[in-house]
Chain A
């Protein structure tokens, strides 16, 4: 049951789950840890609220989405961790950032009142207000298969066109009017994945989860093999995705 090469449990960091968990997207850390366990290795989730909580080793990072009222405290808390975030992203530690968690990693956030909240500047682009909140199902064609989720965001994202997560098949996504070509969703940079698909995006789209886990395992000199439990749970996820796809007039997979 223990990991062979790293003689310690895999450590998944959930960043600021008190401030950034409006839609349950802090649950993505739980999804990664469970899939590691199901593959036969030990894993734990460490909630990091401040530098004092940082574990010695970090194998994967999840950042959720929060309310606008918490943008400033969340940004200030993330700023104290900016060096770690930079080291993680440069050394291939997979990072998943959802919604406002993603926006805070960007150059900045333009707010509805015209002011700008400066971000951490770790990923390209910035967030701008959109006329009406986007709250609906979203379907994205990506390298990790067809991703299906729910988006709920009050801002568009400009400047991710160099490396989007995927192409929007249904829904709004980044809604970058300056970008040419098809509408895009999300942003990737190395093993940093940013998306508007809030909530348990990794549970609903296990192919993306397994891509992150493969990166984690490779860093530890291990090969990731999906566990038997994952296979049955992934069938449930597939049924859930198909239900949305068929309802929106797309084929089941």
Chain B
């Protein structure tokens, strides 16, 4: 039985590899999802069987926001503990992309040399493909209402996350400050361990608007019942472990990065069990490079620029609130990815004060909102390259750094025009 099943997927794996070579001949550097499409068609069980076969199991990170950063942090912590980790770079076309990525690593017997798999999953795709997966650990970040067209309310997001969490065979790690996740944790099967993490009341009190969750739990995690974030100042944060407090240096400023770090630490602790070392984990987190487009400082033509990516109303609000006051040169680029112009209206942008330029396909829409929030907008320039060139040509500001706030589409256009490579596409 074992002998038969061991080479069950060998023909599909071989076909996938041939397709991969052909796809690269056709379009150098491209076509990465195509082998996955082919293999998924001829051997639909390949993906699940391979993902379920890692010695230390499969870890899934999902939730509305922060999953990408959390996944990268978790992978860094696990690697610092000496583990070999298989992970995905992108959530797009997840099953095809994953299958293609696995084809790079897998032996003809369908096994991979790595110890553990850590996958970031979008809640929609995740709920669909998780039906065939048996993750050892599922980590849940939060429920925020974003992408209103797709997931038009928080109940729907919570229900999708519940489906993914229900696949966990050992542990579910969740954000105790998120009311939907706290409720979800209480309703899980009794055999599944639930690890909770959260911020202290003192930390929460510094964010009168909350942390962006669709609904914040009414109480904080009791001391000693899980990892707690006890302090965040700029890029420095303190985390209370059972054994004491450890400090970390975040890859970017902002409470959401601190909570992502907390999620990664909790998940690493559950995944590694007794092998987990808080010192090693915190050192690994602190050594991570700044994340592109999320508060990263870059230098272009001798000018220092801070990039701030806003992916949903919650992250927009948090980024506005955590911007250094008196920032003098701000460029806002909102692109075609923001389909519904109403999307950002719940955000109070008044804290920006003065914006030099609004750009992107939705330049007029965002300028309109800024105007009603009493933010002065000097110029509306929908063409992103024109706006970038004008913005960079300005002399350095006397206070703050040049700051570009962009949607994902704005980020892509900025990166392309400035010839920058995103480290979100680098191997982690």
User: What residues make up the interface of A, taking CB atoms closer than 8 Å to B?
Assistant: 21-27, 30-31, 34, 67-69, 133, 135, 150, 152, 198-200, 203-204, 229, 233, 236-237, 239-240, 243
A133–B369 CA distance with the chains assembled, in angstroms: 26
CB atoms of A239 and B364 under 8 A apart: yes
4 smallest CB-CB distances across A and B, nearest first, come from: A199-B342, A24-B345, A67-B153, A240-B364
CB atoms of A23 and B342 under 8 A apart: yes
With A67-B153, A152-B148 already in contact, the answer to whether A240 and B345 are too (CB < 8 A) is no
Residues of A within 8 A of B372 (CB): 27, 30-31, 34, 200, 203, 233
CB atoms of B342 and A150 under 8 A apart: yes
In chain B between 157 and 185, which residues have their CB closer than 8 angstroms to a CB of chain A? none
A31–B368 CA distance with the chains assembled, in angstroms: 10
A23–B330 CA distance with the chains assembled, in angstroms: 25
- Given contacts A24-B347, A152-B340, list 16 more A-B pairs with CB under 8 A: A23-B148, A23-B346, A24-B313, A24-B346, A31-B372, A67-B154, A135-B149, A135-B340, A199-B340, A199-B341, A200-B341, A200-B345, A200-B372, A236-B380, A239-B364, A240-B364
Task: Judge whether B14 is part of the interface by a CB distance below 8 angstroms.
Answer: no
With A22-B153, A23-B148, A236-B380 already in contact, the answer to whether A204 and B368 are too (CB < 8 A) is yes
CB atoms of B341 and A240 under 8 A apart: yes
Q: Mark B339-383, 1 if CB is under 8 A from A, else 0.
A: 011111111000000000000000011011101111000001000
CB atoms of A243 and B149 under 8 A apart: no
Grouping DSSP codes into helix (H, G, I), strand (E, B) and loop, the B interface class, with mixed when no group exceeds half, is: loop
With A133-B152, A152-B152 already in contact, the answer to whether A200 and B340 are too (CB < 8 A) is no
A26's nearest neighbour on chain B, judged by CB, is: B346
18 of the cross-chain contacts (CB-CB < 8 Å) are A22-B145, A23-B345, A23-B346, A24-B342, A24-B343, A30-B373, A31-B372, A67-B153, A67-B155, A135-B149, A152-B148, A200-B342, A203-B372, A233-B371, A233-B372, A237-B368, A240-B341, A240-B365
Residues of B within 8 A of A237 (CB): 364, 368
A239–B369 CA distance with the chains assembled, in angstroms: 14
A97–B346 CA distance with the chains assembled, in angstroms: 17
Residues of A within 8 A of B369 (CB): 27, 200, 203
A133–B340 CA distance with the chains assembled, in angstroms: 14
Residues of A within 8 A of B373 (CB): 30
Q: Which of A30, A67, A236, A243 has the most CB of B within 10 A?
A: A236
CB distance from A45 to the nearest CB of B (A): 12
CB distance from B161 to the nearest CB of A (A): 16
- Select which of B148, B367, B368 is within 8 A of A200 by beta carbon: B368
A201's nearest neighbour on chain B, judged by CB, is: B342
Residues of B within 8 A of A34 (CB): 372, 374
CB distance from B67 to the nearest CB of A (A): 23
CB atoms of B368 and A25 under 8 A apart: no
Residues of B within 8 A of A200 (CB): 341-342, 345, 368-369, 372
Residues of A within 8 A of B374 (CB): 34
CB distance from A14 to the nearest CB of B (A): 12
CB atoms of A203 and B368 under 8 A apart: yes
B374's nearest neighbour on chain A, judged by CB, is: A34
CB distance from B386 to the nearest CB of A (A): 16
A239–B347 CA distance with the chains assembled, in angstroms: 22
In chain B between 13 and 51, which residues have their CB closer than 8 angstroms to a CB of chain A? none
Q: Which of B145, B152, B372 has the most CB of A within 10 A?
A: B372
Residues of A within 8 A of B340 (CB): 23, 135, 150, 152, 199
A151's nearest neighbour on chain B, judged by CB, is: B340
CB distance from A71 to the nearest CB of B (A): 11
CB distance from B48 to the nearest CB of A (A): 31
Residues of A within 8 A of B154 (CB): 67, 69
CB atoms of B343 and A236 under 8 A apart: no
A135–B343 CA distance with the chains assembled, in angstroms: 13
A69–B373 CA distance with the chains assembled, in angstroms: 29
- Select which of A198, A199, A236 is within 8 A of B367 by beta carbon: A236
Residues of A within 8 A of B153 (CB): 22, 67-69
A239–B153 CA distance with the chains assembled, in angstroms: 31
A204–B347 CA distance with the chains assembled, in angstroms: 17
CB atoms of A24 and B344 under 8 A apart: yes
A26–B313 CA distance with the chains assembled, in angstroms: 15
CB distance from A39 to the nearest CB of B (A): 14
CB atoms of A243 and B364 under 8 A apart: yes
A21–B313 CA distance with the chains assembled, in angstroms: 12
A69–B153 CA distance with the chains assembled, in angstroms: 8
Residues of B within 8 A of A30 (CB): 372-373
Residues of A within 8 A of B149 (CB): 135, 152
A67–B153 CA distance with the chains assembled, in angstroms: 6
